[in-house]
Structure 1
Amino acid sequence: MKTSGNTILITGGGSGIGRELARRWHDLGNTVIVAGRTLSAVEETAEGFAHMHALQLDVASEEDVARFVGELLDRFPALNVLINNAGIMRYEDITSARDLADAEATIETNLLGPIRLIDGLLDHLKGQADAAIINVTSGLAFVPMPKAATYSATKAAMHSYTVSLRVKLAGAVEVIELAPPAVQTELTPGQSQREGYMPLDAFIDETMKPFEAGETPPEVLTEMVLFLRNAEAEGRFDEALAMTSRF
C-alpha cells in the first residue's frame, strides 16, 4: 500500500486507534475522511488538520451505511482506501439465558457493519488505482476472551472474511488485516489506564512501520500481539486461553 497521495476513509475515527491512525495517515500526505456515530467526536479528530474531513456514520445501521456511501462517493470520488476500524466491546455472562441486546449490537457493529461498507464501496474501489481495504480485527480473533465472547467471535469472523476477501480480490484491491493487542484506549471503561496494555502511542508507532517500509504484509502485527496470533501454531493455545480467561 502506498503511504501518500491516498484518499482514505477511517471508521470509528472519533477516539482511540481510529483517531490516531487518521492523524498519522494525514501527516504522511493523504486526504483522510474520519467517520463515526458521534459527529462532534470526529470533528474533534479532524480539527486543525487541513486535509481531514469529518462525516457522521452509524455502521450498525444498514440504512445509514447506504446513505453514507452515496454521500461519501459524491464528495470524495478519489477514495481509494477503506479502513474498517469502528467496533464495540461488551463484557457478557454467557453462562445462562440473558438479554441478547449487547451480543446483537456487537455483531451489527463489528461484523455486519464492515461487510456492508465493503459491499457498498467495492465496485468503486475496484476501479481505483492503488486501492486497499484494511480491516482492524484483534488478537482475540485468534484466542478468545471468554468474558467478551461475542466480541471475540466477531473478530474471528472478520479475520476469516478478510482472508477470503484477499483471495478473491487479488490483483484488484490490496486487502490487509491489522490485529491489535490489548491497547490503552477507552474501548472498555478504564482500559486507557490499564496496566499491562500497550500504550496507544507505542501501538501506533509500531503499526505504521510496515506501511512506511514499503511492502505492506497481509497482516500488520505488533510484537505484543504475536503471543495470541501464533498461539495455536506454536502449540500454546491452552496457555493463551488460560491467560485471556483470567480477565
Structure 2
Amino acid sequence: MQRGDNTLLITGGTRSIGRGRAERFHALGNRAIITARRQELLDDMATAHSGMIRIRADLRDAQSRAALYAQLPTITPSVNLLINNAGFESLLPGSTDFAVSRDIIKTNILSVLELRSRRAASSGISAHGSCGCSRSATLPHE
C-alpha cells in the first residue's frame, strides 16, 4: 500500500484507536471514510477534519450494515483498505448475558466478515488490486 492517495473505510473512526488512525491516514493525504453509531461524534470529526467522509452505521444491526454496503459505491468506486475498529468486549469471566454476546459477535466478527466478503464492485470494496484489512481490539476491564 502506498503512503497516500488511498481510500480507507475506518469503522469506529470517531473514538480512541479508530479516531487516531482516521486522523493520521487523513493527514497523510488519504481519503478517509469513517463510520460510527453516534452522529454527533461523526459531525465533530467532519468539523475538525475537512474532507473526511462520514457514515452513520451501527454494525450490530443488519439493516444498518446493509445500508452501509449500499452507500459505499455512491461515495467511491473502491476502498483499498478496511480498518475495522468498531467493536467492543464487555463480557467478564462467568458472564451469561447472551444478548451482549450476540452484539459482540455481530460487531466484532460478522461485520468484518461481511465487509470482506462484499469486495465486489457493487459494494465499493475493491474487487481487484490490493485491499488490505486491519482489525483493532480492546481488552475488557473490570
Please report the TM-score for the alignment, with normalisation by the length of structure 1. Answer: 0.51
Greater relative contact order structure (CA < 8 Å, 6+ sep): 2
In structure 1, the partner of 2:120 is 123
In structure 1, the partner of 2:105 is 107
Rounded Cα–Cα distance in structure 2 between residues aligned with 1:8 and 1:70: 16
Query: Which structure has more helix as a fraction of its residues?
Result: 1
Q: Is the contact made by 1:61 and 1:113 (CA closer than 8 Å) also made in structure 2?
A: no
Q: Is the contact made by 1:73 and 1:79 (CA closer than 8 Å) also made in structure 2?
A: no
Rounded Cα–Cα distance in structure 1 between residues aligned with 2:110 and 2:22: 23
Rounded Cα–Cα distance in structure 2 between residues aligned with 1:84 and 1:32: 13
Structure with higher Rg: it is: 1
Rounded Cα–Cα distance in structure 1 between residues aligned with 2:23 and 2:92: 33
SS at match of 1:102: helix
Rounded Cα–Cα distance in structure 1 between residues aligned with 2:134 and 2:97: 32
1:136 Cα deviation after fit? 2.3
Identify if the C-alpha distance between structure 1 residues 137 and 93 changes in structure 2 by more than 3 Å, giving closer, same or farther: closer
1:126 Cα deviation after fit? 2.2
Rounded Cα–Cα distance in structure 2 between residues aligned with 1:34 and 1:88: 17
In structure 1, the partner of 2:50 is 50
RMSD of aligned Cα (Å): 2.0
Rounded Cα–Cα distance in structure 1 between residues aligned with 2:22 and 2:97: 35
1:104 Cα deviation after fit? 1.6
Cα distance per residue 1:188-215 (max 9 Å; x no partner): 6xxxxxxxxxxxxxxxxxxxxxxxxxxx
1:33 Cα deviation after fit? 0.7
Question: Could you tell me which amino acid in structure 2 is paired with residue 77 of structure 1?
Answer: P
Aligned length: 138
1:1-247 mapped onto 2 (5 Å cutoff) = 1-94=1-94, 98-120=96-118, 122-124=119-121, 125-127=126-128, 129-137=129-137, 148=140
In structure 2, the partner of 1:197 is none
1:51 Cα deviation after fit? 2.5
1:46 Cα deviation after fit? 2.6
Rounded Cα–Cα distance in structure 1 between residues aligned with 2:2 and 2:130: 7
Unaligned runs of 5+ in 2: none
1:107 Cα deviation after fit? 1.2
Rounded Cα–Cα distance in structure 1 between residues aligned with 2:32 and 2:23: 8
Unaligned runs of 5+ in 1: 141-147, 149-187, 189-246
Rounded Cα–Cα distance in structure 2 between residues aligned with 1:99 and 1:9: 31
1:93 Cα deviation after fit? 4.3
